[in-house]
C-alpha cells in the first residue's frame, strides 16, 4: 500500500516538473514552435464547419500563406469575441476571420496587408419595405456582437439604440431573422449574398446601401507588436503575386478577383 502511494506521489511530481519545464520555455513561432491561428468558424463562405472540419476561403488562404511562410500552424475555432481576447493575451499568434482592418482595431492589434474587399449589406425578408439603412429606423436589426455591422448601425442611429440586437455569432443573428425576432440582419456582403442564394426556401433579399455603408478590407490579425507580421506580409504578397490567391478566390467565388482593389 505504502509503495503505491509513494509511486503515485513520485509520478505526479514528475508530471509537475514536466509541465513546469514546458511553460518556462521561451515562446517563438517562427522557430517551429506552435503557431495557433484563431477563427470564428460560423461565417460562410470565409470560415465554417463542414463535417466537423473548418473550411472556407480564409482557411485555404491561410494554408497557402502559412506554407509560404514555413510556419507550422494550428487553426482553432475560438469564436469571434474570444478571438480578440486571445490575440491580446497572445494565446493565439494570429487570427483569420473575415476581420475588417480599421483604425480602432489597429490600436490594439496588428494587421497584415489587406486580402479581401467587403462592405456591409442588409439581409431581410422578401416583400419587406426595407430598401436602405434609413428604413431600419425604428426596426429591430440583428448583428454579430463586435462587428463593423454593429458599428455602422450605432454610428447611424446612436449607441443606445435598443433595436439593435447583438448575437454572439452571425449564424444566430440570421436565425433571429428567420424566427421573426428581428426585421433585418446587417453583415458582410459576401456572407449575406451567399446565405440568401443558398437558402431560396427562406425567401430573403439582400439590400445594398453604398451611401451608408463603406468599403472595408479584411486582414490577418496579429497581436500588437508581433514579430511575425513581416513574415506573414511577405508570404501573403507572394501568394497574391504567384497566382495562388487567384486560384483560391476562383474556387470559392467562381470569378476573377480584382487584385488592384487590394493595392490601396
Residues that bind ligand ARG (CB under 6 A): 40, 42-43, 47, 80, 97-100, 118, 144, 147-148, 170, 188
Between helix 57-69 and helix 244-253 the angle, nearest 10°, is: 170
Least distance to ligand ARG from the beta carbon of 249, Å?
17
| CB-CB contact of 132 with 212 (8 Å) | yes
Phi, psi of 50 (to 5 degrees): -135, 120
Instruction: Return d(Cα 97, Cα 205) in angstroms, integer.
Output: 24
Our CB check for ligand ARG shows the closer of 30 and 171 to be 171
Our CB check for ligand ARG shows the closer of 37 and 99 to be 99
Our CB check for ligand ARG shows the closer of 70 and 104 to be 104
Our CB check for ligand ARG shows the closer of 43 and 245 to be 43
Least distance to ligand ARG from the beta carbon of 154, Å?
13
Our CB check for ligand ARG shows the closer of 40 and 68 to be 40
Least distance to ligand ARG from the beta carbon of 43, Å?
3
Least distance to ligand ARG from the beta carbon of 44, Å?
9
Radius of gyration of the chain measured on its C-alpha atoms? 22
- How many Cα atoms occupy the beta-carbon half-sphere of 107 within 13 Å? 2
Least distance to ligand ARG from the beta carbon of 184, Å?
16
Instruction: Return d(Cα 206, Cα 197) in angstroms, integer.
Output: 10
Q: Which residues contact 247 (CB under 8 A, 6 or more apart)?
A: none
Least distance to ligand ARG from the beta carbon of 41, Å?
7
- Cell digits of residue 88: 491580446
Report which secondary-structure segment, H or E, holds 178: helix 170-178
In three-state secondary structure terms, 118 is: strand
Our CB check for ligand ARG shows the closer of 224 and 234 to be 224
Our CB check for ligand ARG shows the closer of 42 and 130 to be 42
Q: What is the DSSP letter of 170?
A: H
Least distance to ligand ARG from the beta carbon of 186, Å?
10
Q: Return the exposure string of 178-192: e unless at least 16 CB atoms fall within 10 Å of the residue's CB, then b.
A: eeeebbbbbbbbbbb
Amino acid at each position: 500500500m505504502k509503495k503505491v502511494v509513494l509511486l503515485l506521489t513520485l509520478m505526479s511530481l514528475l508530471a509537475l516538473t514536466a509541465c513546469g519545464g514546458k511553460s518556462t520555455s521561451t515562446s517563438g513561432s517562427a522557430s517551429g514552435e506552435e503557431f495557433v491561428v484563431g477563427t470564428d468558424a460560423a461565417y460562410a463562405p470565409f470560415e465554417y464547419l463542414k463535417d466537423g472540419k473548418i473550411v472556407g476561403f480564409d482557411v485555404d488562404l491561410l494554408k497557402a500563406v502559412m506554407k509560404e511562410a514555413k510556419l507550422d500552424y494550428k487553426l482553432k475555432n475560438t469564436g469571434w469575441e474570444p478571438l480578440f481576447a486571445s490575440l491580446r493575451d497572445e494565446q493565439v499568434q494570429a487570427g483569420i476571420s473575415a476581420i475588417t482592418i480599421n483604425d480602432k482595431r489597429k490600436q490594439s492589434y496588428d494587421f497584415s496587408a489587406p486580402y479581401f474587399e467587403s462592405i456591409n449589406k442588409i439581409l431581410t425578408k422578401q416583400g419587406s419595405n426595407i430598401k436602405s439603412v434609413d428604413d431600419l429606423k425604428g426596426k429591430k436589426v440583428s448583428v454579430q456582437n463586435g462587428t463593423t455591422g454593429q458599428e455602422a448601425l450605432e454610428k447611424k442611429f446612436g449607441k443606445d439604440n435598443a433595436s439593435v440586437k447583438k448575437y454572439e455569432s452571425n449564424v444566430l443573428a440570421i436565425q433571429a431573422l428567420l424566427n421573426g425576432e428581428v426585421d433585418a440582419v446587417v453583415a458582410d456582403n459576401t456572407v449575406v449574398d451567399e446565405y440568401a442564394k443558398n437558402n431560396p426556401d427562406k425567401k430573403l433579399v439582400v439590400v445594398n446601401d453604398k451611401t451608408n455603408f463603406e468599403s472595408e478590407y479584411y486582414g490577418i490579425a496579429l497581436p500588437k507588436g508581433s514579430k511575425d507580421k513581416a513574415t506573414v506580409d511577405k508570404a501573403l504578397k507572394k501568394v497574391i503575386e504567384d497566382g495562388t490567391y487567384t486560384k483560391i478566390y476562383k474556387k470559392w467565388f467562381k470569378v476573377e478577383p480584382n487584385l488592384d482593389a487590394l493595392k490601396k
